[in-house]
Structure 1
C-alpha cells in the first residue's frame, strides 16, 4: 500500500506535481500512472521512492518499494559495473554473487562489466541499471519508461521479466506506450493538475486520461 496524506509539491518555477493529494494505491496491483507530458509523473515516483521530498504531507508505504527502475544516478563512475552491482546488493542485503550473476546474464555487457561505469554508453548503463533493479525482489516496483531502452530484443526481454515480477509484486508504471501498459497493468491512476485519482479498472483510467488530453489544462493557481 502506498498512502498519500495531504501531499503537496510545487517546484520553484511554479509547476505543480501534487496539490493536497490524499489517495491510496494498493500494493498488490500493477498500476499505470497516467498524465500529460510534464504533469509530474516522474517526480511523483521519486517522492514515493523517497529521493524527492514533498513540500507538505506524508507518503507512507507498506512493504519494500524499489527505487525508480532503471535509475542510473547511483552508479559510481569510477567503479566497475560489477563493483557497483555488489555495492547495491550489500545495501539491500541480498546475495551479491546471485545479483551479479543475474545482472551479467541480463544486461549482456560481457567483459565490459569489469570496466569503470564512466566508460559505458548511456544504453549500457541503462541495461545494467534495469538488470540490477530486476535482480532484487521488491514488494512494489516503480517503473519509469524503462522498457524503451535498448533494441527490440532487449525491450522484449525487459517486458517479460517485468511480467514475471508482477506475478508476486505490485508496481507503479509510467510509459508512453499504451499497449505495454495494457499488457502489464490492471489498474490506473491519473495525475491531472496536481490531483491524483486511483481507478481499480485500467480502462476507466485510460478513458479519463484521454478525455483530459482533449481539454486544456487548468491554469496554475486555479
Structure 2
C-alpha cells in the first residue's frame, strides 16, 4: 500500500518521511492552509530530498497562469490541484506535453501525454448525487489521479473529517469505470487506526492513502513515531 504524507514544512520531518519510506511527500502552497509553505521554501526543501520524484506540490490556483507560476518557482512536476476546471487542466498539461505529442490532434476530454502529473482533489459529500457523479467522470478523463477528500463549504483539504467508506467506495468505482489507469487517493482524517480498520477495502480500491493531521502533534509539526508506525502497516 502506498502512503502519501502531506503538509511537510520542516526538514527534520521531511527526513523522517523519507527514511520511513513514504511513497509521496506533499508540500502545501495554499494560503488558507495552516500548513502553508512558500514556493521558495518548497524549492529549498525539495533540494534536500534524496528522491525528488516523491515530491508533490499542493496548490489551489486562481487560474492556469497562477498554476504555471507556482510550478516554475518550485520546479515540481507533480501537482495536486484543489481548483481549475477540466478545460484549464487540459491547457496546463498541454503546456508541458511531451515533444512527440506536439502536433497531434486530440479531443477536449482526452489526456495529453504530458511531463506534468496532475492529481485533482474532489470533495465528497455524505451522498454522491448526479452532479458529483458527473464531476468525477469529467476529471477522471483528463487527470492522472483523483484524490477524494471530505468537503466543507465547497473546499477540500485540511478538514480532518473522514469520508464514509461507502461513499469513497462508490466514488472510486465511478472513477475507475471511466479511466481504469487512473491513480486513486483517499484522504480526510486518515490515520493508522482508520487505515487498519478498513485495510482490505482501502487497499483493493485505492492506490494511495493520504495522511496529514493523523501523524501530527500540531499543524505542520509531524510526529516521527506516528509516521514510523504508519509505515509499518502491512497488507495480509
Greater per-residue strand proportion: 1
TM-score, normalization by structure 1: 0.40
Calculate the TM-score normalised by the size of structure 2.
0.38
Please say which structure displays the higher CA radius of gyration.
1
Relative CO higher for 1 or 2, CA cutoff 8 Å, sep ≥ 6? 1
